Amino acid sequence: MSKLVIVESPAKAKTIGKYLGPDYVVKASMGHLRDLPKKKMSIDFEHGFKPEYVPIEGKDKIIAELRSEARKSDFVYLATDPDREGEAISWHLKELLKLKNEKYKRVTFNEITKPAVKYGIEHPRDIDTDLVDAQQARRILDRIVGYELSPFLWRKVKRGLSAGRVQSVATRLVVDRENEIRAFEPEEYWTIEALLKTEQGGSFSARFHGDASGKTELKNEEQAMAVVNAVTGKPFVVGPVKKGKKKKSATAPFITSTLQQEASRKLNMTPRRTMSVAQELYEGVELAGIGLTGLITYMRTDSLRLADEALIAVAGFIRGRYGEEYYPGKPRVFKTKSGAQDAHEAIRPSDVKLVPEDIRDSLSPDQFKLYKLIWSRFVACQMADAILDTVSADILSEGYVFRASGHTVAFPGFTAVYEEGTDDDKKSDGGKPLPAFSEGDKLQNEKLEPAQHFTQPPARYTEASLIRAMEERGIGRPSTYAPTISTILDRDYVVKENKALRPTPRGEAVTGLLVDKFQSIADYEFTANMENELDEVEAGKVGYVDLLQEFYGGFEDALEQAEKALEGQRIKIEDEVTDVICEKCGRNMVIKSGRFGKFLACPGFPECTNTKAITEDTGASCPLCGAKVVKKKSARGYVYYGCDKYPDCKFMTWDKPLKTKCPDCDSSLFRHTDRDSKEVTDVCLREGCGYSELVKEGLPPEEAEKNRQRREARAAKAAERAAAKEAAGETEKKPDKKTAAKKTVAKKTAAKKSAAKKAPAKKTAVKKTTAARKTKKEAADE
């Protein structure tokens, strides 16, 4: 009996095929195969919002192959990912392949391990139509918003804009935070740090706290200096000393949102990159001596539940590796927040005995870093509390109180494996250890340091803190956080400066319009309630047609009212003014967007047509001429570094400039990472110097050699393809006059390309022209 198993990705297919053996054929659908067509609404509003699905363009070959395999097979298992999206893909597969009820079943795997795969195959079920309805409702909602609201934005703001339910609210969070920062009025305050020394020679610092009546805030310099003058030259004496023990418990295992936040903080990974690498770990990695192995459980989850077998395994691992005292005696249970879907357990390693360092050679650098993060967090969450010996002392002088506090680690507990990161780098949980002293001891005052401070506005969101804010407000779900942030960045509603997110003038203009005219789209509470209603559809408590009808009535009314209110009006997006001065006319240049991204332009156009690329000073100097080295972006978006005096100086490098200087010639150093060995060195690029210093050891020699061989193999294949094309006569041909006339528009940008490559460019240009003429019904989907 032949059996077909359909999954989403080739990597997953390969891993599952290995576990199931020769009686099963495992094929990949490569994601969705059916969707709403791109060029029309395709929602029948008159007949219960019925969607019209069509095969996705370019997927014909995959569909034909799956149909052929399904016809040859006696039974089909639909094994797409265990979430709403995966359930919908399975339903579309059933419809596309015209599978009869007796010939197929749905199976899911929370982890891609041999026991989990076999268990899933042995426990098939029917497709969950409630899950499918919830996914369809979300898809239809997004289509309605995208196809009806985006053209409105084109008419009233700027062509090419788009809006979506979740992306619009995420953008509003960033805009509202920016408005808070602008409205913030700083307040002055002062601190006084006393540097003290014990009779035994130990030194520490104590901060001004107040007086005998309690804590006192110093509002200005006059108040601060009054304290400084009062205690200068006077004795400092140790007052009451409080000693105690503090327990610190481990944080819960990862869910999707916390994984994305921690990977951003500790690994500097974007949410999109985090989920991509996590998908690779879930689907399976080829481990030396073991073979294809799924390393983590499913990574789209909001549950803190852990499987009993995993808890038993980690308990034995902790006792064996760290000692009996590091295990708390019973499994730790973490409470999942109310409103969570709780469809899957928390993110954890599929086998805790696969220690990250032991399999490092089989993983890419990003895979290793993320796997280690997940493994460490899981092991730590089941370990004993850390115990800190704390001490706090009041230091007295002339009736004023200075306070010092610190701690030492009595027992590391879970911190021997892992400690959670924070968004505030300066955050401290108790200070440094204090020297030994007792109440009544006299202290020598080495120095008094008064300092002026001002209260700070709320920090701009980072990707990590924005995800946390979305989660706290109930906006979006685990599978939507990463794509939402990617969308608002890609559409230039928000920009990332270092790690901070800042709204663009475009983002602020669109958000202002939506908040004013479309409360149902930009309102936090409405969006969160919509997510809850989608959960109700998934639970079978609400019909998805009822949900859509309720939304659509209010949305259409709001659209009609907005059209009337803004009739004949157009909202202008202000250009972002920079401090770069136009060397031709003296105006401050502004940031514009073009075909290849952003650039600087003179606001005096058309009188002044000066433009220039946006560059960023790196603080390094050019090794050829001594001018500034600036950060640039190529037309394809790749970052490189070049001399600010280009084209007079042609210096360019991919190596990252450093502010540190070469010890031999005083030129700026550059950080170089070898593509094969991954070895990192700081090098001097000044001709004739040759200085180089190792910063980080590279991969083991065998792995470095493998990387080199892979690159050479890719280069050889590319050369073979080029030779084959040449042999087939695909050489440069002169276009006839008609063709040349049609290509006039593309000629400037494609001058260096061969004629063979110009034909596709021509088609692309035609498509773009067509896209620019889209009607309301052809608006871009979210």
Long-range contact set of residues 755-758: C-beta below 8 Å, sequence gap at least 24: 756/725, 756/730, 756/731, 756/732
What type of residue sits at position 387?
I
Q: Is 298 a catalytic residue?
A: yes
Rounded Cα–Cα distance for residues 779 and 145 (Å)? 10
Q: Provide the 8-state DSSP code for 45.
A: G
**Cβ neighbours of residue 742 closer than 8 Å, sequence gap 6 or more:** 762
Q: Tell me which residue has tokens 């040449």.
A: 726
User: What residue has token string 């893909």?
Assistant: 89
Report DSSP state, residue 111.
Answer: B
Ramachandran sector of residue 492 (left: φ over 0; alpha: ψ -120 to 50; beta: rest) = left
**Which residues are CB-neighbours of 340 under 8 A, at least 6 positions away?**
302, 303
Cis amide leading into 606 (omega within 30): yes
Per the DSSP assignment, residues forming a β-bridge with 628 are 621
- Rounded to an integer, what distance in angstroms lies between the CA atom of residue 18 and that of residue 233? 79
Single-letter code of the amino acid located at 515: V
Least Cα distance to 662 among 640, 691, 638 occurs for 691
In degrees and rounded to multiples of 5, residue 503 shows phi and psi of -75, 145
Residue pair 442/199 in contact (Cβ under 8 Å)? The answer is yes
Which residues are registered as beta bridge partners of 669? Answer: 684
Residue with tokens 């999206």: 85
Q: How far is CA 434 from CA 2, 396, 412, 509, in A?
A: 72, 17, 18, 54
Q: What are the φ and ψ backbone dihedral angles of 478, each rounded to 5 degrees?
A: -45, -40
DSSP three-state, residue 598: strand
Considering the candidates 298, 327, 493, 641, report the single residue annotated as catalytic. 298
Helices (H), 566-678: none
Query: What does the alpha-carbon distance between residue 514 and residue 531 come to, in Å, rounded to a whole number?
Result: 19
Give alpha helix (H) positions in 539-568: 544-565
Spell out the residues 6+ positions from residue 562 whose beta carbon is closer than 8 angstroms to its own: 152, 517, 518
From the list 190, 147, 142, the residue with the least C-alpha distance to 168 is 142
Which tokens in the block code for residue 152?
């409105």
Q: Which helix (H) or strand (E) holds 430?
A: none
Q: Which two tokens stand for residue 224?
A: 């601060």
Residues labelled catalytic = 298
